[in-house]
Structure 1
Amino acid sequence: MFYRRLPLEKCVNVRDLGGYPAQKGTATQFGRFLRGDALYDLSQSDLRFLWDYGVRNVFDLRGNAEKETEPNAFKGVPGVTVYDICLWDTDAYADTVHLISNGMGDFYVALADRYPDNLGRLFTLMAECEGGILFHCSAGKDRTGVTAALLLGLVGVAYNDIVANYQVSNTYIRVNSQRPALRNVPMNALSSDASYIEQFLDFIKERGGAREFLKSTGVSETNLNRLAEKLVT
């Protein structure tokens, strides 16, 4: 059985990217790519559920301080490979607060501008690894949302569906705002307002779309095709 939001005990925002209409009459498949919030407090039941769901690769998009505060529960789990690929280091606190002062859209654009090499490595490794993939950050909204938007955009998922996929986080993470890593985060940073991801999507469109943007980060045409095949075949 596949789920849109996975019924875990300790994570509130782990969701499957399956079920969206995509290019040429295809649809994104369930069980291939999952997006999520921090996996620091997973129960043994959660770990077993995710294993049974097919997760064999976990991509942790957080910075070092976040990983020290909330360590990844999959570290050391046999059969699961954890990749640490930082898409924003929250140690740069003043810079982060400045960027998000008007909402998260500027932050997403800055992420794409400042971390092209890490984005390229992330998407290359996701293309080359075997088995189900779960990528996550802290709240499962921002770095995770940018990654999900690029994956869905790569296979032609409609603009409004990508926005809707992003917006859902607003409902789930508000019940979890007192976690240690989220307690001091400005309230607007915990929102997933449509305008935030729309700003990022418009930025990507100006650069030729998700495929062309990812090529500019160093992802090969072969690996872009592999990603698309994983997601829709």
Structure 2
Amino acid sequence: MNASHPVTLSVAIALALSSWIAAASPQAAAAAPTTAPQSAAPAVRNVQPLADDAQRVLALEGAWNVRTFAGLQGRNGPIPAMAFVRTADLSRLTDADKDRLAAAGVALDIDLRTGDEEQQSPDVLAKDPRFDYQRISLMGTEKMDLQKMMTSFPDTLGAAYVQWLGSNQPQFREVFQRMAAQRDGAVLFHCTAGKDRTGIISGILLDLAGVPRADIVHNYAVSAHYLEGQPKDSAMNVQMMALLKQHPEIARKMAGMGGTAPENMEMFLDTLHQQYGGAAGFLKEVGLSEAEIHSLQVRLGQAG
């Protein structure tokens, strides 16, 4: 990544930290001084899944937040069950997990993480010949240099997601063009927690399908529930812990950016529609052709 995108790098690091702090950890809380003001915001309870969400969960032993779009209603009917699979980190998949994904029809695995993240926690599908693997760093950077962390973060995750729409358009184009080019099988996409980068790619796809706004927001918001218990023992997390001990003020700010509060996706969708006219307008803006957008709509079952 070149020096002309410092804000993007700061957002990348902020999201890595917020994803880690959100899950965690008595250790993360301990990184901040015990003299924190008593008026600090209370922890937000995770949005709980509804009965209808169960049909979308793909239970695996070694991955968290693994879900399809099955049954979500688009403008022309429900989205096919195995059009897309969204998930978190895939470095802990068992052989049985890989077999289940293959049996479910997953053909393409798009890894949205940086090169650093992939090296710390390799995607085990990358070396399995049954899957076509492609890594496209949605952040527009390959390194997350925690020693160069900037202090000017957005105030909310929603604001960070909005920044992406303007600053990372080449990466969005590459992701959606690769999805559009996949004719057969299911397309899986993931990041580390499966809630931020994965969450906004999901939001764009669901908006393109014409899924009601409330359902898009809910689909995002339940990620925090499905991430409960996700391990946080990677080498990158060790670096983050050391950084937080040195800069407890960062821990306090990032703690307020964790989770998947519905208002984050609300803010993202507001901007998507106000600035681009919705997902289709955004995809045209970043360089997708009408044919490519149509291919995505076909995959989503909405090409009528």
TM-score by length of 2: 0.71
Q: Indicate the residue corresponding to 1:226 in structure 2.
A: 295
SS of aligned partner of 1:12 = coil
Q: Indicate the residue corresponding to 1:199 in structure 2.
A: 267
Matched, 1:105 2:173: no
Letter in 2 for 1:6: L
Matched, 1:45 2:114: no
Percent same amino acid at aligned positions?
31
Deviations 1:146-187 (A, max 9, x none): 100000000100100000000111112132263425574833
Distance 1:179 1:172, change over 3 A: farther
Letter in 1 for 2:189: F
SS of aligned partner of 1:57 = strand
Return the alpha-carbon distance in structure 2 between the equivalents of residues 44 and 91 of structure 1.
Answer: 30
Q: Indicate the residue corresponding to 2:56 in structure 1.
A: 4
The structure 2 residue matched to 1:157, chosen from 202, 211, 217, is: 211
Q: Indicate the residue corresponding to 1:122 in structure 2.
A: 175
Letter in 1 for 2:230: N
Contact kept? 2:112, 2:190, Cα under 8 Å: yes
SS of aligned partner of 2:124 = coil
Q: Indicate the residue corresponding to 2:108 in structure 1.
A: 57
Return the alpha-carbon distance in structure 1 between the equivalents of residues 55 and 101 of structure 2.
Answer: 12
Larger Rg: 2
User: Greater RCO between the two (CA within 8 Å, min separation 6)?
Assistant: 2
Q: Indicate the residue corresponding to 2:15 in structure 1.
A: none
The structure 2 residue matched to 1:167, chosen from 221, 225, 228, is: 221
Task: Give unpaired runs (5+ residues) of structure 1.
Answer: none
Letter in 2 for 1:83: Q
Task: Give unpaired runs (5+ residues) of structure 2.
Answer: 1-53, 241-250
Q: Indicate the residue corresponding to 1:135 in structure 2.
A: 189
Return the alpha-carbon distance in structure 1 between the equivalents of residues 267 and 176 of structure 2.
Answer: 21
Return the alpha-carbon distance in structure 2 between the equivalents of residues 73 and 64 of structure 1.
Answer: 15
Deviations 1:83-134 (A, max 9, x none): 1111114615525x6435x220111111221110110111111011132110
What RMSD over aligned residues (CA atoms) do the two structures have, in Å? 1.9
SS of aligned partner of 1:58 = strand
Matched, 1:208 2:262: no
TM-score by length of 1: 0.92
Contact kept? 2:180, 2:292, Cα under 8 Å: yes
Return the alpha-carbon distance in structure 2 between the equivalents of residues 143 and 175 of structure 1.
Answer: 20
Distance 1:179 1:231, change over 3 A: farther
How many residues get paired?
Answer: 229
Return the alpha-carbon distance in structure 2 between the equivalents of residues 160 and 92 of structure 1.
Answer: 36
